[in-house]
Amino acid sequence: AQALYVDTTEVVVGCMSLIEMGCFCQHHQIKAIVDASHPYATRVSQQAIALTRKLNIPYLRYERHHYQSASVKQQDTEAIEEVIEVASLEHLLAGDYLTAQRVLLTVGCNALPKFQSWQHKATLFARILPKIKSLEMAIASGFSGDRLIALRPPISAAMETALWQQWDISLVVTKASGNAGGEDTKRQVAARLGIPLIVISRPQMIYPRKTFEIADILPFCKLA
């Protein structure tokens, strides 16, 4: 992501605790926070909200649009019934959804350790980002090399189709990442192949201020 910014922009990469985030804001005299973190990175959002309240500065949450069904082709409509929405990862693991299935997990490497106890109840495959940390976490969670693939999004429908068929996948698990996160593509491929798709809902959070439009961000910053 750092490469997307112009050379004159100062970009800091890495995790921050609440204390570190506070020190950063004070050192750089931050006047407002735009929270554009991942929809499932709730800790980051909680810290940002707490910090803006402490420093008495404005906060704006930029949220990805949710999945838009209008993007699904008409001929796929009937197969959409194979989409199963679950409230959380914990809800999924507490159920019997995965038993004896050949499951493709596209849920991020941080979630993979929670599937370790399922390694002997289902045949699990995972798609991860091409990063050393992601690979190490996947292997530590019980995934062998022949059940892992490292790909950087966006991933085309053709590539999704080829991968699912190559591994003879019978069930796919993903997050409600919206069209920007490839959720629409997964739904379309699942519909065409007749493969059930489990979608883990986004965590429920109350934001002080939220927008789905990038165009709202610059005016917000100018007023800060």
Considering Cα of 8, then 12, then 13, then 18, what sign does the dihedral take? negative
Give the integer Cα–Cα distance in Å for 74 and 91.
31
- If residue 85 lies in a helix (H) or strand (E), which one and from where to where? strand 83-86
**Angle of helix 157-166 relative to helix 183-193, nearest 10 degrees?**
50
pLDDT at 57: 97
pLDDT at 2: 67
For the chain, give every domain's residue range.
2-65+205-223, 69-200
- If residue 165 lies in a helix (H) or strand (E), which one and from where to where? helix 157-166
In angstroms, the Cα distances linking 7 to 1, 2, 10, 11 are 13, 10, 8, 9
- Average pLDDT, rounded, for the chain: 91
Q: CA 224: distance to chain centroid? A: 29
Which strands, in side-by-side order, build the sheet including 83-86?
83-86, 197-200, 171-175, 102-106, 123-128, 148-150
**Average confidence (pLDDT) over 121-131:** 97
Say what the alpha-carbon torsion angle 205, 209, 215, 218 is, to the nearest 10 degrees: -120
**Angle of helix 42-55 relative to helix 18-27, nearest 10 degrees?**
50
Confidence of residue 29 (pLDDT cuts 50, 70, 90): very high
DSSP alpha helix (H) spans, 36-141: 42-55, 89-94, 132-140
pLDDT at 12: 86
Lowest mean pLDDT among 60-74, 81-95, 156-170, 199-213: 60-74
Is a pLDDT exceeding 60 seen at residue 205?
yes
Q: State pTM to two decimals.
A: 0.83
Give the integer Cα–Cα distance in Å for 27 and 208.
24
Long-range own/partner contacts, residues 150-158 (CB < 8 A, 24 or more apart): 151/127, 153/181, 153/182, 154/182, 154/185, 155/182, 155/185, 156/185, 157/185, 157/188, 157/189
SS3 13: coil
**Higher local confidence (pLDDT), 179 or 25:** 25
SS3 86: strand
Confidence of residue 10 (pLDDT cuts 50, 70, 90): confident
Confidence of residue 77 (pLDDT cuts 50, 70, 90): very low
Give every CB contact of residue 8 below 8 A, 6+ residues apart in sequence.
none
- If residue 123 lies in a helix (H) or strand (E), which one and from where to where? strand 123-128
Is a pLDDT exceeding 60 seen at residue 69?
yes
Confidence of residue 13 (pLDDT cuts 50, 70, 90): confident
State whether CATH 2.60.40.420 applies to domain 69-200: no
